[in-house]
Amino acid sequence: MLLKYIKRARHLARFELRMLQVYLFDYRRYRKHAAPNRRFSNDLQRGAFLLMVLHSIEKGLTMAVPRGFFGRDKAELIMKTYRAMQFDEGSRWLHCYTFRVLEAYQRHLLEHGETPQTFLDSLNRFLETHKDEHESPDIEGGALSLRAVQSPRFTDSQLSALFETRHSTRMFREGTIPKQHLLLAARMAHSGPAACNRHPCRVHYINKGPLMKRALEIQGGNTGFESEIAHVAVVTCDLSSFLDLSERNQPWVEGGLFAMSLVLAFHAMGYGTCCLNWAATIEQDQAIRATGVVEDRHCVIMLIGLGLLRDDYVAAASTRAPEDQLATFHD
């Protein structure tokens, strides 16, 4: 009896230790790559912060009841963060976007009066001093004027068909998805929402070959259909974008939204997908990083098997609970 008790206690202690170990692993990664205390150690973190503050100015420009003078503290943070950053080819868009937002903000302040002249002067000086001759005219910033009639209209049945004809596919036809479609799907997924407009998710495509085989081996949930898959999409989320302790679980929210958009984009283009779980152990997480596909600062959200649909194929019915268990209405 006592022996049984000791065995059970030892088992529980081992489990608790293992649990602490995985939380410590996540803690260390968040501590290393995110900036929850806002002490930035690189331009990725500064860039995420800049996006976040630019977004609060943009939001202020799009209220139903226009605000007069607002956002001075945010604009000062934008100018300070911008000055602390080194822009290169990869971040030139962010430089242009900063200008577009500040220019729109300046127009708003001039239209709405009430703004202290000293602040207007400092904004003006900033815009004049840092203006880039090579700015890209197609980068927008500030408020967009939109019309509801411009949104495409689909019937309920057309929309349901888009969602309900998607099934996880574990058999594919020979052949590959053209690169421009892999890119188009990524672009469509990128157009989804993201907290404070930071868009921390990326997709890393691996084509059929030894690297894809290794990634699938590490994932482990594809037994029996691994040879059918034409490409693997590894969806990741960059921890450098997160700037608060309360955001410690945010990568999984952002990643889930991005991954779902990607899956629907491929489905809408007529390709087959199968989400592949990344409920990974520390060892799996380290193993995928060792392949070189994923940088250390990226969390892996999931893998997605991709391929061409066969003319005829079978998929699991994966029946759902009835509708009345799906939505609850409250007044």
Ligand X SMILES: Cc1cc2nc3c(=O)[nH]c(=O)nc-3n(C[C@H](O)[C@H](O)[C@H](O)COP(=O)(O)O)c2cc1C
State the residues that interact with ligand X by CB under 6 A: 167-168, 170, 221-222, 274-277, 302, 315-316, 318
DSSP state of 312: S
Residue (130 or 166) nearer to ligand X, CB: 166
Rounded CA-CA distance 330/245 in Å is 31
Question: Closest distance between ligand X and the C-beta of residue 4, in Å?
Answer: 36
DSSP state of 248: T
Question: Closest distance between ligand X and the C-beta of residue 168, in Å?
Answer: 4
Residue (53 or 185) nearer to ligand X, CB: 185
Question: Closest distance between ligand X and the C-beta of residue 97, in Å?
Answer: 32
Q: Which residues contact 79 (CB under 8 A, 6 or more apart)?
A: 122, 123, 126
Residue (65 or 316) nearer to ligand X, CB: 316
Residue (53 or 212) nearer to ligand X, CB: 212
Cα–Cα distances in Å, from 235 out to 35, 55, 106, 232, 268? 22, 24, 38, 10, 19
Is 204 in a helix, a strand, or coil?
Answer: strand
Question: Closest distance between ligand X and the C-beta of residue 275, in Å?
Answer: 4
- Assign 3-class secondary structure to 211-236: HHHHHHHHHCCCCCCHHHCCEEEEEE
Residue (144 or 316) nearer to ligand X, CB: 316
Question: Closest distance between ligand X and the C-beta of residue 246, in Å?
Answer: 24
